[in-house]
Structure 1
Amino acid sequence: MAADVDKTIPEDESKMSQRNGHLSPGSGSWISRGIWTLLIVAAVPLLAFGIKSYQDAQLIQRHEESVRTLGAEGLFLFSSLDTDHDLYLSPEEFKPIVEKLTGITPPVDFEEEETHDPNGETLTLEAKMQPLLLDSMTKSKDGFLGVSHSSLSGLRSWKSPAVPFSSFSATQFRALLPPKNKVGVGDTWWVIPSELNIFTGYLPNNRYHPPSPKGKEVLIHSLLSMFHPRPFIKSRFAPQGAIACIRASNDFYYDIVFRIHAEFQLNDVPDFPFWFTPGKFTGHIVLSKDASHVRNFHLYVPNDRSLNVDMEWLYGASESSNMEVDIGYLPQLELQSTGPSTPSIIMDQSGNIIDNRDGGDEPIQFVFEDIRWTSEISRQEAARRLEVALYPFKKVSYLPFSEAFERAEAENKLVHSILLWGALDDQSC
């Protein structure tokens, strides 16, 4: 009986101790670890917030010091070089100053032009053009009084595309694919970055022949050469370069919207230079993510404005020579694919050629499946994102006069009115 009593007493005490809230040493250790884990988890965002606040405070302090040291105008010049806005100039950001002061341009590492698969798919493009309407130029109002015939010789003789049809390898359009960090719908990136800033100024006017294109410039140069044999991929004035945006995508395809700012030199020696600068080239391409197939391609100069081309010509052989400026309307300048890209040869499963472009038999008719996008934005929204990337002031809505007052009344805001001769964004009106 004593043994039975001894056995029951600890059991009762154990139950009592649990009722009174006493825990074993192992249980206490578990709670301690849990508390420390919660403290660490809570401390991480607080630490991140503290670091971010410190960095912001340092940036504000550097900004105030910069204003005191450089003044507002000096800070504006500094900011035009400080592309990452950290208020420090890296060697890459300082490079334009070096080039301006020394006159020496350091060698640039261009991407190597890819070799194209001769058995890959080929895309045929057709160039269409309606020449500029001479009576849309302001100089036409007085019968081009004072304008020499030789000045406009290149313009008057440019009546049709230089190359009406041309074939391209589908892989050449790899130049328009996005970089690895820009693969989401709505992402924008530079295909050909602008090299102009407040220190470099503009490129010289007294030139006839464009520099040899390199890297991604090769594709753009080849496309624009279908219109005229002397395209300048990098325009003399801003905006300069080519930029693109993913409008839609799925597992296999992209629909990419792009715009290009380039110009043509219409005159050749002995006539003085004549620059022909469309407001912009824009368009889109639907291509596979490995650039092996192009479903559709379209490039054109928009003609929805009353004036869409800027023209400048020299009256001398030097940069200091007098220059005439005019604007006009170009009804049509576009490239359009005649159909999807197709392979030059077709093989069976054993690798035997069963058809090729040179065969005398009836060519095989291809049937292409419809492309269904899993993610997309409107073409207008893609175009807007390109505009904002080129012109930061486009982040603010610019509205027609009547709409501006309606919006101002609805949002209880003031109206800032701007009167312009021409367009606020693109160089041509």
Structure 2
Amino acid sequence: MKTLPNTITLNLDDDAEVSVKGFIAPIEYTQYNFHVDWDTLANLRVAERKKQYSTSIFCDFLPKEAVSVGTPWEIEHAGPLELLKQFHPNPSLGMGWDLHHHKTESQGLWACLRAYDAEFADIVFRIHAQFALNGGWFTPAQFTGHLVINRVKRSVAFFQMYVPNGTINFDAWRKTDPDAKGHITDSGFCPQIELRTGIENILRNTQFVESITQEEVEHKLALCFYKSQHINWVSLEEALEMGPAQQKPIHAISINGPLLDESC
């Protein structure tokens, strides 16, 4: 007899308020010096350093029905969009033809239950968004983070939404000539783009009764965005061994940017 996975419902009382702090550090690097030559990017700072939200904003991160650990679901747009405005007043969740003039598969907002016990549940999420700046666009690689719910109090115990660090973690484009059809692009690194509230120690100090690793949940979320992540990628050394053994040709692909995010 097949055993069904344990499922739990996730709820919040939407009449409480949550105070969220916002951070955008100065940009440290861009390949073509956009952060020096473009004043808008050079002066990019968080719109509101601290803001009060109704807990109902975070309800949009929750699934509509009971879920098990490792099960992804789509996030409603309204709550995350309101939170993104704390970074900058002009966020967009659209990542397609109308913005960069090219089609992309990376649309969406997804979350996944990573772990839970009787008191807490840890939800990991991934959001792709960008911001309309004066004269161009700013596109972080991704927004990820945790929403930890106190299941007993039905409250937000910890929330963090941030752009992960990397060699580059954002893409930007601008129109230097308003009459020209095209635009110029750049990519770079910003050390902190983050919203936060609550106590992060909860994640380290809680002995969850059921969980998957952070790496596992990140992979599950990446699968929701990119078809390329459904490919069983192997190293060149492994491919050289596997090809002759399986009598299959070896396909070598050269790329000039990451396949896992929107930083290029």
> If the length of structure 2 is used for normalisation, what is the TM-score?
0.79
**Superimposed CA distance per residue, residues 54-108 of structure 1 (whole angstroms, 9 cap, x where no aligned partner):** xxxxxxxxxxxxxxxxxxxxxxxxxxxxxxxxxxxxxxxxxxxxxxxxxxxxxxx
Pairing partner for 1:179 from 30, 44, 64: 64
Indicate if the aligned counterparts of 2:108 and 2:225 stay in contact, CA closer than 8 A.
no
Are residue 169 (structure 1) and residue 36 (structure 2) matched? Answer: no
Give the partner amino acid of 1:244.
A
**Superimposed CA distance per residue, residues 270-317 of structure 1 (whole angstroms, 9 cap, x where no aligned partner):** xxx3100011111111114588311111111011x2111111112455
Indicate if the aligned counterparts of 1:285 and 1:296 stay in contact, CA closer than 8 A.
yes
Q: Which moved more, 1:325-334 or 1:168-177?
A: 168-177
| Counterpart in the other structure of 2:121 | 254
Pairing partner for 1:405 from 230, 237, 242: 237
How many angstroms does 1:338 deviate by? Answer: 4.0
Pairing partner for 1:128 from 23, 28, 34: 23
Decide whether aligned partners of structure 1 residues 298 and 407 sit closer, same or farther in structure 2, where only a CA change above 3 A counts. Answer: farther
What are the equivalent positions in structure 2 for 1:15-414 lying under 5 Å apart?
116-117=14-15, 120=16, 122-133=17-28, 136-140=29-33, 152-158=38-44, 160-180=45-65, 183-191=67-75, 216-236=76-96, 238=104, 239-251=106-118, 253-267=120-134, 273-288=135-150, 292-303=154-165, 305-317=166-178, 321-339=181-199, 371-399=206-234, 403-406=235-238, 409=241, 412-413=245-246
For 2:153 and 2:185, locate their aligned partners in 1 and report how far apart those are by CA, in whole Å: 41
Give the partner amino acid of 1:280.
Q
RMSD of aligned alpha carbons: 3.0
For 2:131 and 2:47, locate their aligned partners in 1 and report how far apart those are by CA, in whole Å: 12
> Any stretches of 5+ residues in structure 1 without a counterpart?
1-113, 192-215, 268-272, 341-369
Give the partner amino acid of 1:125.
V
**Which structure ranks higher in relative contact order (CA pairs < 8 Å, sequence separation ≥ 6)?**
2
How many angstroms does 1:397 deviate by? Answer: 3.3
Report SS of the residue matched to 1:264. Answer: strand
The structure with more radius of gyration: 1
Which structure has the highest strand share of the two?
2
For 1:298 and 1:189, locate their aligned partners in 2 and report how far apart those are by CA, in whole Å: 19
How many angstroms does 1:252 deviate by? Answer: 5.0
**Superimposed CA distance per residue, residues 361-414 of structure 1 (whole angstroms, 9 cap, x where no aligned partner):** xxxxxxxxx644221100110000011121133122334xxx441476379456
For 2:239 and 2:21, locate their aligned partners in 1 and report how far apart those are by CA, in whole Å: 44
Indicate if the aligned counterparts of 2:77 and 2:109 stay in contact, CA closer than 8 A.
no
How many angstroms does 1:321 deviate by? Answer: 1.8
Give the partner amino acid of 1:127.
G
Indicate if the aligned counterparts of 2:59 and 2:79 stay in contact, CA closer than 8 A.
no
**Superimposed CA distance per residue, residues 155-195 of structure 1 (whole angstroms, 9 cap, x where no aligned partner):** 1221x311111222333311111121x6011001111xxxx
For 1:311 and 1:334, locate their aligned partners in 2 and report how far apart those are by CA, in whole Å: 18
Which structure has the highest helix share of the two?
1
> If the length of structure 1 is used for normalisation, what is the TM-score?
0.50
